[in-house]
Amino acid sequence: MAERKRLSPEVAQQNILSRAEHYLIVGGPDAVRVQVIADDLGITDAAIHYHFKSRKGLMTALLKEAGRKLKAEVTSIAESTGDGADAITEIAAKLTELYQQRKYARLAIWLASEGWESEGAGLFDPIVAQLCASPGSTEQEKDVRYLLALLNTFLVGEDLVGGAFLASVSMPGDNDSRARFRNWVVAQISATLRFK
C-alpha cells in the first residue's frame, strides 16, 4: 500500500476549493456537496469540515476566493486601461463570465438566502480611482461607486432572470438578445460616468 502524502493546510484547502468550483460550474450551488468532493479527492467528509467547518463555510470560502481573484483582475484592468469606457466594458465581461459561466451569481444568491452578508472588500476601489475625474470629489466618487454597484446588481439579476425580464417587455429572451441587452446597459453606464 502506497503511503499517503500529507498536504499542507493551504494546499488541501485549494484542492477542496478547486473541486467545489468544478461542481459549482457543472451544476450550480446544489451540486457542491461535501461528500462528493471528499470522494473525488480521496479524503473524508471530516477533512473538509476541518478546513471549512460546514458546507456553508465551504461555499463562503469559494465566493471569497473568487472575490480575491476578481479584485486582482480589476486592479490589472485599472492599471492597463486608459479609457474609462474600456474599463467598464472589461469589468462587465469579467463579471459576466464569473456570474454566468462559473455560476457565482447563483452562489451569491444561495449564500444570501442562507443569511450570509458580504463584509465588503473594496473590490472595485482600483477602478473607482481611475474613473474619478476629480480626485477627492466625494460626490463624483459616490456616483462612480453607485454605477459600479448598479452594474454588479444588473449582471447578477440578468444571469438569473434576464431572459424572463426581456420577455416581460415583449422582447426575445434568447442568448443573443440577452447579450445585446447587457451591452446596452454597459454602454449606458459608461456614458453616465464622467471620465478623465
Q: Sign of the CA dihedral 66, 71, 72, 74?
A: positive
Phi then psi for residue 122, to 5 deg, are: 60, 35
**Cell reading at 114:** 442562507
**Secondary structure class of 23 (helix, strand, coil):** helix
What tens digit of pLDDT does each residue of 75-108 get?
Answer: 999 888 766 778 899 999 999 999 999 999 999 9
Percentage of the chain beyond pLDDT 90 is 70
In this predicted structure, what is the pLDDT of residue 186? 94
CATH pick for 9-192 out of 3.30.365.10, 1.10.10.10, 1.10.357.10, 3.40.50.920? 1.10.357.10
Q: Which residues make Cβ contacts (< 8 Å) with residue 141, sequence separation at least 6?
A: 128, 132
In this predicted structure, what is the pLDDT of residue 108? 93
Cell numbers 459561466 correspond to: 101
Domain residue spans in the chain? 9-192
Neighbours of 110 (CB within 10 A): 19
Cα–Cα distance, 83 to 54 (Å, whole number)? 43
**Cell reading at 178:** 440577452
Measured over all CA atoms, what is the biggest interatomic distance in the chain, rounded to whole angstroms? Answer: 67
What tens digit of pLDDT does each residue of 4-45 get?
Answer: 567 798 999 999 999 999 999 999 999 999 999 999 999 999
